[in-house]
Structure 1
């Protein structure tokens, strides 16, 4: 591999003329392949698909992220099979040392940063650069910054944002890339905006170059810190505190990262049509924010879709899709057998709930009615198998407790499995092997959610509450099974009861009878679902829209 990058750097492939504008994309996590563990969940999956589709389209775009020494974490089990969190060093021979090094000031101390390069042909992505502080010349505190994705130590997490934002902006300078657009995927890289401000000398010029994607549909969920702490740590890259207050229109000491990003950008977007509406309502009361549109998330079909099932879709052959689905269950069921010692049947309807474990996604919704859940799994007329998988945040004791509770419950049912190690590889197996994809977020809490897209691309039907991207996709009874939305004024326990009862009714009265008694209807539903998801929810459409509507 060539260890010397050309300066100024240019993307090493022919750029499509309509995507010629140079763009740099900052994301704290990017998931492009199982072999490169620099992601935690949906945000990383989404970024990875974006980088793959940008490459397919020949876009003049580079990505900047962080080379996490321990990744997110390895999800394993303790002796008693309770979930355990393991941090293990990752080493990647396919990353190229650019030999670009520079210093950023963090906590009033110089920290050395080195950049590694992922060449586009390795995983079919745009050029990607990964920053690390785990190098000679840094003390233990400096090295620690790039160890763990989303560290729970407040100061360390702020330092990670500085590494991505200030470090990423300095890398762009060192490369001589000269992007016209700086795209912040979430507000983590906001320090890059202050680096730009020092270069440009005015907020107006920064706004000309900055766009911002928000993924958080609740104001309370956006990062906030004391502005004096941020200043002390060097978050603003040497921009005086009073100037920061003026730029961000900050009257007190609360620095809301997303709000300041909205005030420093010329354009922002939510990640689904519904999320765009929620975001405009949420932020509309604040002065000085940029317009907020939406670009609905999507996933890269080339990476995610099984070629044989795609060929059957294009041929309109529902029976071939059904045959291939049973074949695709085999590798998934080998993982089930290996992890939990259960032998699943490829002829049995298989439901999957798999994504990041978070309470608003309600992974245990069905099991909260223990009697009805047991009845569903124990009846023999319409047999069913259910698999759960997903990673909780490693310090979220409540979510880990839910994960463990589901696992221990699974001991009572030979047709229920809870798997560890939900990363890109297992995610692909689950989507290939699922007949139905369960999605149970509290409505309006899921900005987009993308797992159901790739499940649908592989012939799984979405069985979902009506939230996020599903609102734009779903035609209940024609391409999916949708839980009617509860009255938003209901107390949380009544809303959960409403959603749980109607989900059971869908499964008992529609999903299972159709799968077993009316296979032709099921196949027709699957084919419509696959056609509809491929029509609009492929990431090439999304990557095009970012150029057309945001850049």
Structure 2
């Protein structure tokens, strides 16, 4: 038998390790395909983690497997592509952001959702941050990012037989991640020190490579810290208010100190939400010390010109507030360096500096320390200007200095490989680098509807297979004899499949459509147009109402009308989301308007040929044009929540176009057909949706 010639065993392993150590692989299907082919079973069991996978291969075993699967040329090609990608100068930023080359953007975020094997994210904010730095990498934007290294990450979710959520925290092994200690210009491991009134906090700095972008994560589990502080960064959004302010102190102050130790001088500081709003205070203090500025106001003016602040939520609970005494305990040393009195310093986090009862708000601090601020959709911009208008009482609402930049998604991370191949055949060359140009999407009209339908059904079947497998594992753990004996006992590929996946915060109203079970019974079990639902999502460990929402939906499996047709799969993460957005027919989103600041999951569905059914909130309020999906309501809301909630989620039973007071405005009636049939109306709707 002929053997494919390749590099030596050691060189082969070295190249595979180089590919695994840069998270560029996470959005490059050719590379993930290599790791999957090395051992498909272990690849799945290890949560698609190439570092852990390669640890199970000796050089000789890897060489033998590469020979069996004819992988040498694929590995060599991927390795060359990675090197070319990192060194290429032909990138968007070369002509549009060259000034940042010497002084890059410093991007601060409390979480980063890059891949399921790196559990340092909880939801939309983290996924946005991950997409943001991956997009910066592809564009070649000089950007460095910082966050916290959560050794236990966010919790793993399990449901009991009654549908109640429990949380498990699992220690993450550093040697199983593409991470290494960050080194200063002299090659020494970096540990930063953050002063507080109660003593110093220490944080080690880790480095991670995300394409062309370096991500630096701070970790308080180091010698020299109090035992409680060594656990400070172990969990994302865990602990009490004291834990929260100390985490944000490490993120903001520690992040700036980390860049200083690395020899990085940012030209822009981008604060992604208020968690990192302490950071500019350290920059101001350093500027005063290094440049001899005696006036805080002068230093603030200079630093604010370099600072961008993004606010993400109109929900009050999403804006961190701390008692002023707690702020003084932790920021007192910085206040001393700034030369501010107690009252002057606390005014940085207050609407009314003279109100001694007002707590210190991180969002207010972020707004006051920046000269550029943005919301994350057009509607959210209006809401944010109204929400924070008291900070600028001399301005009319339209002149409040908070703009908006509507969130998007990193297309390569969410687009199914089969859909990318379709677009590659019918779209212009280089389309993936120009997805924001409407002309690119005119290529959808060259796609044969039959071909699009076939690909959609392939993706739908892959999703259903994945959901069945996950759900069957849940049933086996429950040992419930009422559950189906085989995986094929749930979900039908021929049914219209509606997906819902997001955080189970109460304002997102995940259980809204089940407020009238008889009506949903008529929809789910309609003789001509049956429907099925797939739900996934986590509630915060302290959010009991959110957990009740999960229990309400998960418990429907005990109702014979919905068993096998309304499925809740546990432990929602990037992997579950990827399968759902690539395979559902329709994506449901029914938040209480206008509390969904952006909500970009529907964009991922549209990219993959699905349709969006949503309240006119967030990005959908801008994208919906009457022909590209479905809108719930007319874009209005009521002052009383119970009246707003009474407007049912609009999934109309055929012949019944009203939906409990809210109209659904579909572009065309869509009826699910058998797997072998095409449906031109679905394709036309999908084609129009792709242009948004």
Fold-level match, TM-score > 0.5? yes
1:272 and 2:377 aligned: yes
Q: Which residue of 1 aligns with 2:365?
A: 260
Greater displacement, 103-112 / 296-305? 103-112
1:459 and 2:609 aligned: yes
Q: What is the aligned counterpart of 1:327 among 444, 458, 468? A: 458
Contact 2:163/2:552, CA 8 A, preserved across alignment:
no
Tell me the distance in 2 between the aligned counterparts of 1:367 and 1:408: 12
Assess, with a 3 A threshold, how the Cα gap between structure 1 residues 304 and 357 changes in structure 2: closer, same or farther.
same
**Map of 1:17-56 to 2, 5 A cutoff?**
17-20=95-98, 21=100, 22-56=104-138
Cα deviation code 1:433-491 (max 9, x no counterpart): 10000000111111101110111111110011100000111122x11100123753353
Assess, with a 3 A threshold, how the Cα gap between structure 1 residues 50 and 221 changes in structure 2: closer, same or farther.
closer
> Post-superposition shift, 1:107?
5.9
Contact 2:587/2:602, CA 8 A, preserved across alignment:
yes
Tell me the distance in 1 between the aligned counterparts of 2:556 and 2:217: 41
Contact 1:68/1:147, CA 8 A, preserved across alignment:
yes
Tell me the distance in 2 between the aligned counterparts of 1:81 and 1:359: 17
Assess, with a 3 A threshold, how the Cα gap between structure 1 residues 219 and 403 changes in structure 2: closer, same or farther.
closer
> Post-superposition shift, 1:193?
1.4
Contact 1:68/1:149, CA 8 A, preserved across alignment:
yes
Contact 1:162/1:235, CA 8 A, preserved across alignment:
no
1:297 and 2:384 aligned: no
Larger radius of gyration: 2
Q: Which residue of 1 aligns with 2:60?
A: none
Assess, with a 3 A threshold, how the Cα gap between structure 1 residues 423 and 221 changes in structure 2: closer, same or farther.
closer
Q: Which residue of 1 aligns with 2:140?
A: 58
Cα deviation code 1:57-79 (max 9, x no counterpart): 10111110111111111112336
> Post-superposition shift, 1:385?
1.3
Q: Which residue of 1 aligns with 2:291?
A: none
Consecutive unaligned residues in structure 2, runs of 5 or more:
1-16, 19-84, 183-188, 289-298, 428-445, 473-488, 658-665
Assess, with a 3 A threshold, how the Cα gap between structure 1 residues 359 and 189 changes in structure 2: closer, same or farther.
same
Q: Which residue of 2 aligns with 1:541?
A: none
Q: Which residue of 1 aligns with 2:245?
A: 158
Q: Which residue of 2 aligns with 1:133?
A: 220
Q: Which residue of 1 aligns with 2:392?
A: 287
Assess, with a 3 A threshold, how the Cα gap between structure 1 residues 371 and 80 changes in structure 2: closer, same or farther.
closer
Contact 2:419/2:608, CA 8 A, preserved across alignment:
yes
Cα deviation code 1:65-109 (max 9, x no counterpart): 111111111112336553211111112431011221121124612
> Post-superposition shift, 1:183?
0.5
Tell me the distance in 1 between the aligned counterparts of 2:615 and 2:403: 23
Higher relative contact order (CA 8 A, sep 6+): 1
Tell me the distance in 2 between the aligned counterparts of 1:508 and 1:349: 17
Tell me the distance in 2 between the aligned counterparts of 1:505 and 1:511: 16
Q: What is the aligned counterpart of 1:115 among 202, 205, 208? A: 205
Tell me the distance in 1 between the aligned counterparts of 2:417 and 2:468: 26
Tell me the distance in 2 between the aligned counterparts of 1:191 and 1:466: 35
Q: Which residue of 2 aligns with 1:229?
A: 326
**Map of 1:168-183 to 2, 5 A cutoff?**
168-183=255-270
Contact 1:112/1:138, CA 8 A, preserved across alignment:
yes
Contact 1:366/1:504, CA 8 A, preserved across alignment:
no
Tell me the distance in 2 between the aligned counterparts of 1:507 and 1:427: 33
Q: Which residue of 1 aligns with 2:43?
A: none
Q: Which residue of 1 aligns with 2:672?
A: 516
Q: What is the aligned counterpart of 1:450 among 579, 600, 607? A: 600
Assess, with a 3 A threshold, how the Cα gap between structure 1 residues 119 and 516 changes in structure 2: closer, same or farther.
closer
Q: What is the aligned counterpart of 2:544 among 379, 397, 406? A: 397
Contact 1:29/1:43, CA 8 A, preserved across alignment:
yes
Secondary structure, aligned partner of 2:177: coil
Tell me the distance in 2 between the aligned counterparts of 1:436 and 1:489: 26
Contact 1:245/1:251, CA 8 A, preserved across alignment:
no
Secondary structure, aligned partner of 1:379: coil
Tell me the distance in 2 between the aligned counterparts of 1:82 and 1:107: 42
Going by fraction, where is strand more abundant, 1 or 2?
1
Tell me the distance in 2 between the aligned counterparts of 1:347 and 1:503: 18
1:100 and 2:100 aligned: no
1:416 and 2:566 aligned: yes
> Post-superposition shift, 1:234?
2.9
1:525 and 2:609 aligned: no
Contact 1:219/1:282, CA 8 A, preserved across alignment:
no
Q: Which residue of 2 aligns with 1:5?
A: none
Secondary structure, aligned partner of 2:691: helix
Q: Which residue of 2 aligns with 1:8?
A: none
Secondary structure, aligned partner of 2:631: strand
> Post-superposition shift, 1:210?
1.2
Q: Which residue of 2 aligns with 1:251?
A: 354
Using the size of structure 1 for normalisation, the TM-score is 0.89
Tell me the distance in 1 between the aligned counterparts of 2:227 and 2:510: 38
> Post-superposition shift, 1:276?
1.0
> Post-superposition shift, 1:219?
5.0
Cα deviation code 1:223-255 (max 9, x no counterpart): 222222111123773444344135556223421
Tell me the distance in 1 between the aligned counterparts of 2:387 and 2:317: 10
Assess, with a 3 A threshold, how the Cα gap between structure 1 residues 263 and 326 changes in structure 2: closer, same or farther.
same
Tell me the distance in 2 between the aligned counterparts of 1:50 and 1:472: 21
Q: Which residue of 2 aligns with 1:213?
A: 310
> Post-superposition shift, 1:411?
2.9
Tell me the distance in 2 between the aligned counterparts of 1:116 and 1:490: 47
Q: What is the aligned counterpart of 1:489 among 617, 622, 638? A: 638
Contact 1:108/1:234, CA 8 A, preserved across alignment:
no
> Post-superposition shift, 1:208?
1.6
Tell me the distance in 1 between the aligned counterparts of 2:267 and 2:110: 21
Secondary structure, aligned partner of 1:367: helix
1:204 and 2:301 aligned: yes
Assess, with a 3 A threshold, how the Cα gap between structure 1 residues 129 and 48 changes in structure 2: closer, same or farther.
same
1:69 and 2:156 aligned: no
Cα deviation code 1:273-294 (max 9, x no counterpart): 1111111122123238972111
Q: Which residue of 1 aligns with 2:434?
A: none
> Post-superposition shift, 1:197?
1.7
Contact 1:152/1:395, CA 8 A, preserved across alignment:
no
1:193 and 2:280 aligned: yes
Contact 2:107/2:272, CA 8 A, preserved across alignment:
yes
Tell me the distance in 2 between the aligned counterparts of 1:242 and 1:268: 25
Tell me the distance in 1 between the aligned counterparts of 2:421 and 2:497: 22
Greater displacement, 384-393 / 12-21? 12-21
Contact 2:513/2:648, CA 8 A, preserved across alignment:
no
